[in-house]
Structure 1
Amino acid sequence: MSATSCDVLIAGGGMVGAALALSLARGGLAVALVELRPPPPFVPDSGHDLRVSAINRASQRLFRALGVWEGMRAMRISPYQAMEVWDAGGSGCIRFEARELGEPDLGHIIENRVVQRALWDALDAAPGVTRFCPDAVTLLDIGAREARVTLESGARITTSLVVGADGARSRIREMAGIDLDSRRYGQQALVATVRTALPHQETAWQRFLPTGPLAFLPLSDGRCSVVWSADDERAEQLRDLDDVAFREALAEGLDHRLGAVVESSQRAAFPLRGSQARHYVRPRLALVGDAAHTIHPLAGQGVNLGFQDARALAGVLLHGAVGDPGEFRVLRRYERARRGDNVIMMRAMECFRYGFGSALPPLALGRNLGLMLADRAGPLKRTLARRALGLDSPDLPYSPG
């Protein structure tokens, strides 16, 4: 099979990889996108998928700039108007409402497959994108002036830059010999879709339990997507419950805020760990999304951080690279822009997890007092909300559309 060439090869066509491919293609670069499995077609009458993401305003702005937001809306999105967080170990509670912030909503709960499908539909019409799917990278040879990649299909590609967007178990990261600092949290995220006796009120509900946080995320059809991040022992107990006992445990875990849980879907569980690649870039190579970092899901920031990786990398490539997207000097600008912020977010989520999971009286008193004071401190509360939800994110420094 003859060799082909491109400016950037992206390994991984999931949400973050597809967003980066579309950004670069709209900016005039020739892109090869390698993905093992294409996203399935969206079926309007199908039930909600178990894997959803809380998309914040920064990610929404990226989607709008890429021209894919309306495609997602045409499929299925679930805006939410409020968020309420409270501690099972005391009376501390904080509530955020869109109207208090002068916003139409606080964000959107969107199925991962909807995000990926909208991006792939846009890639169909994007100039300069060649997709290799189903396919995977098997060999990576990085030279001084170019990188050479061999795919499972036998295709050979020469490129200026290889981007690993291939998830937490990134083969690109391993092939490049980049070490990963990783810690297992001793928890699993149990996910399911449920219907409750009382309406969810377009509110995201989260209760911090001693064994981990439980979140009910509102969906457009009146149901909720549940994410229960529980210690391993508790997660295994929940996984093995029959449906009736599982629904009872969910209702009790949320302190019956939404009444009884009257329906529940199949369940899935995923081990949780936090990780940071020692380096996000090497000459002619960059990592984005879960290939570069993973964090605890308690604040729903994981995929939003990945989209900001894609946004930042596209920005430096389209405006900092002069004819050579793989130049290390340019790639270092991306690493400096993103790695520090991602590490801070990961550590902050770990502090929340350990702080709210502790039964020590001083910590319990402190966290409950902190929640109550933050809820009553108007300016501080608004600042926290706008930053956490990406409401004050700047516009894109470039126009990929």
Structure 2
Amino acid sequence: MTQAFDIVIVGAGMVGAALATGLGRSGFRVALVDRGSAPEFDPSLPPDIRVSALSAGSERYLNDLDVWPGMLAMRATPYARLAVWDETRHPLSNLLPRKVADVVFDASNLSARHLGHIVENRITQQALWNSAAALNSVSLFPDNAVSHLENGDHHAAVTLEDGTELECQLVVGADGAASGVRELAGIGVTKDQYQQQAMVISVRYQGPVEDITWQGFYPSGPRAFLPLHAAGNGESWASLVWYDSPEQLAHLKSLDNRALMAEIQNAFPPELPLLTHIEAKASFPIARQHAKTYVNNRVVLVGDAAHTINPLAGQGVNLGFQDAHCLQTVIREAKRAGCDLADPEWLTKYEQQRRPANRRMMMVMDVFYHLFSNRTPPLHLLRNLGLGAAKAMPFARNRVAKYAMGIDDELPPLIRQLAERLPGMKQL
């Protein structure tokens, strides 16, 4: 038996569940399909190894969906400062202060209480999943995947692995970087694999919860600290990220926790607090990927299904939430105008708004990647001059901060000019 909906969303991760909530609250009949089941949060358990730095813009969107208060009631750690500095050794390293050109972005300079929150992915996903499930207009199909897609002129339909058939006006692919919907719709991608990989380590350290997240840049890649919640007994949780070659990360993963802790304490900047415990570790390859189109007839892509970026600043999910917010606005306007939800005029507006914005963030992340992840002396001078200028010019620094917070859509001109010259940018 075929079930009829306005929209079928495939992928109930953070972005897909947010879109389902937003559309369901607007009265659309939505089917939400996911390979997994509802995530569960247990406050007695250690933090999820997967965390995201949610921007102020994402907070506003989640608050509009009425899920942000519930997330705060679980666990979310605000950060008021973000620091960046260069840790590369150079001929004058022994003569100059260690951080000649460190840059600190401070919420107080923006008349804000914080720059964002570090939140465990399972908390965000559970809050959104629960919100979508509570709506009568949203039907969940967990533990299921799409086996067939019909992308017709007058309607779309998906067949699930258990044989269930769902008919609709529009199918949304929110099923991640390896999107099955994107493949079934015949949408290609451009992809660049970075030489580095990223290792994420969940740790405890001595001291109170910090209000700063920082990244020290090394030739082999950045090493980052993201504060989490208190652990009790004078300790706190944090998430560390170590970018390096696949060979080096394979070596680190082979170490027992005691040896790994010693390696971390020695290799990270001295700003790292004294570690007391390693809870979990994992590594993953990183790539820049962009769908050649976000729309094919009655199929539209959002989040990682449409684009993935270098995770240097944890901006991926923020871009996904911006996609979701934009698409639900466009769909509402199409309905108000009495149009088919897959009307090309309206879906083109979505792509025209989101593709340039996503491309800009890709450019920013690649500027940092190419500028910092090397030992070339001229680039070492250039990046320190750049950081020094940012430190000396509060207006420019605050523009960058507002862009990262999702407050300002405009990319600072110098970064845009640098990014346009990077390899592979023309094809995005």
Q: State TM-score, norm by structure 1.
A: 0.95
Deviations 1:183-216 (A, max 9, x none): 1102211111112345553110211111111111
SS of equivalent residue, structure 2 residue 6: strand
Structure 1 position 137 matched with structure 2 position 146: yes
Q: 1:352 is aligned with what amino acid?
A: F
Structure 1 position 379 matched with structure 2 position 395: yes
- The answer for the alignment partner of 1:149 in structure 2 is 158
The equivalences for 1:39-78 within 5 A come to 39-78=38-77
From 250, 264, 267, the counterpart of 2:278:
264
Distance in 2 between the 1:259 and 1:204 partners? 12
How much does 1:148 deviate? Answer: 1.5
How much does 1:42 deviate? Answer: 1.2
From 86, 101, 106, the counterpart of 1:97:
106
How much does 1:244 deviate? Answer: 2.2
Distance in 2 between the 1:344 and 1:392 partners? 12
Deviations 1:32-58 (A, max 9, x none): 100111232211111100000000011
From 323, 331, 334, the counterpart of 1:317:
331
SS of equivalent residue, structure 1 residue 219: strand
How much does 1:133 deviate? Answer: 1.1
From 197, 212, 236, the counterpart of 1:188:
197
Structure 1 position 30 matched with structure 2 position 26: no
Distance in 2 between the 1:224 and 1:365 partners? 32
Distance in 2 between the 1:324 and 1:244 partners? 60
How much does 1:392 deviate? Answer: 4.4
- The answer for the alignment partner of 1:127 in structure 2 is 136
Task: Give the conservation status (yes or no) of the 8 Å contact 1:9–1:31.
Answer: yes
Distance in 1 between the 2:129 and 2:311 partners? 25
Task: Give the conservation status (yes or no) of the 8 Å contact 2:225–2:272.
Answer: no
Distance in 1 between the 2:32 and 2:409 partners? 28
Q: 2:130 is aligned with what amino acid?
A: D
Distance in 1 between the 2:386 and 2:209 partners? 26
- How has the CA–CA distance of structure 1 residues 362 and 199 changed in structure 2, closer, same or farther, with 3 Å as cutoff? farther
Q: 2:181 is aligned with what amino acid?
A: I
- The answer for the alignment partner of 2:382 in structure 1 is 366
Q: 1:79 is aligned with what amino acid?
A: P
Distance in 1 between the 2:85 and 2:114 partners? 20
- The answer for the alignment partner of 2:371 in structure 1 is 355
SS of equivalent residue, structure 1 residue 256: coil
SS of equivalent residue, structure 1 residue 318: helix
Task: Give the conservation status (yes or no) of the 8 Å contact 1:211–1:234.
Answer: no
- The answer for the alignment partner of 1:255 in structure 2 is 269
Deviations 1:201-250 (A, max 9, x none): 31102111111111110002122111222222222222222222221222
- The answer for the alignment partner of 2:291 in structure 1 is 277
Distance in 2 between the 1:187 and 1:389 partners? 26
Deviates more, 1:318-327 or 1:137-146: 318-327
- How has the CA–CA distance of structure 1 residues 149 and 70 changed in structure 2, closer, same or farther, with 3 Å as cutoff? same
Task: Give the conservation status (yes or no) of the 8 Å contact 1:209–1:253.
Answer: no
Q: State TM-score, norm by structure 2.
A: 0.89
Deviates more, 1:235-244 or 1:310-319: 235-244
Deviates more, 1:50-59 or 1:186-195: 186-195
Task: Give the conservation status (yes or no) of the 8 Å contact 1:85–1:94.
Answer: yes
SS of equivalent residue, structure 2 residue 5: strand
Distance in 2 between the 1:39 and 1:205 partners? 32
- The answer for the alignment partner of 1:399 in structure 2 is none
Deviating runs (4+, > 4 A) in structure 1?
A: none
Q: 1:209 is aligned with what amino acid?
A: Y
Deviations 1:146-173 (A, max 9, x none): 0121111111111100000000100000
Distance in 1 between the 2:258 and 2:318 partners? 34
Deviations 1:281-311 (A, max 9, x none): 0111100001001001101111100010001
- How has the CA–CA distance of structure 1 residues 259 and 61 changed in structure 2, closer, same or farther, with 3 Å as cutoff? closer
How much does 1:381 deviate? Answer: 1.1
Distance in 1 between the 2:218 and 2:40 partners? 38
Deviations 1:338-375 (A, max 9, x none): 01111221122112111101211111011012112201
Q: 2:4 is aligned with what amino acid?
A: S
- How has the CA–CA distance of structure 1 residues 21 and 259 changed in structure 2, closer, same or farther, with 3 Å as cutoff? closer
Task: Give the conservation status (yes or no) of the 8 Å contact 1:84–1:205.
Answer: yes
Structure 1 position 106 matched with structure 2 position 135: no
Distance in 2 between the 1:259 and 1:135 partners? 43
How much does 1:68 deviate? Answer: 0.3
Task: Give the conservation status (yes or no) of the 8 Å contact 1:92–1:367.
Answer: no
From 175, 199, 220, the counterpart of 1:211:
220
Structure 1 position 330 matched with structure 2 position 339: no
Distance in 2 between the 1:392 and 1:181 partners? 27
How much does 1:323 deviate? Answer: 4.0
Q: Across the two proteins, how many residue pairs are aligned to each other?
A: 393
- The answer for the alignment partner of 1:235 in structure 2 is 249
Distance in 1 between the 2:353 and 2:162 partners? 35
Task: Give the conservation status (yes or no) of the 8 Å contact 1:198–1:258.
Answer: no
How much does 1:393 deviate? Answer: 7.0
Distance in 1 between the 2:409 and 2:209 partners? 28
- The answer for the alignment partner of 2:308 in structure 1 is 294
Task: Give the conservation status (yes or no) of the 8 Å contact 2:8–2:171.
Answer: yes
Deviates more, 1:187-196 or 1:29-38: 187-196
Task: Give the conservation status (yes or no) of the 8 Å contact 2:399–2:408.
Answer: no
- The answer for the alignment partner of 1:397 in structure 2 is none
Task: Give the conservation status (yes or no) of the 8 Å contact 2:38–2:142.
Answer: no
Deviates more, 1:385-394 or 1:261-270: 385-394
Task: Give the conservation status (yes or no) of the 8 Å contact 1:316–1:331.
Answer: yes
| Unmatched runs of 5 consecutive residues or more in structure 2 | 90-99, 231-235, 411-428
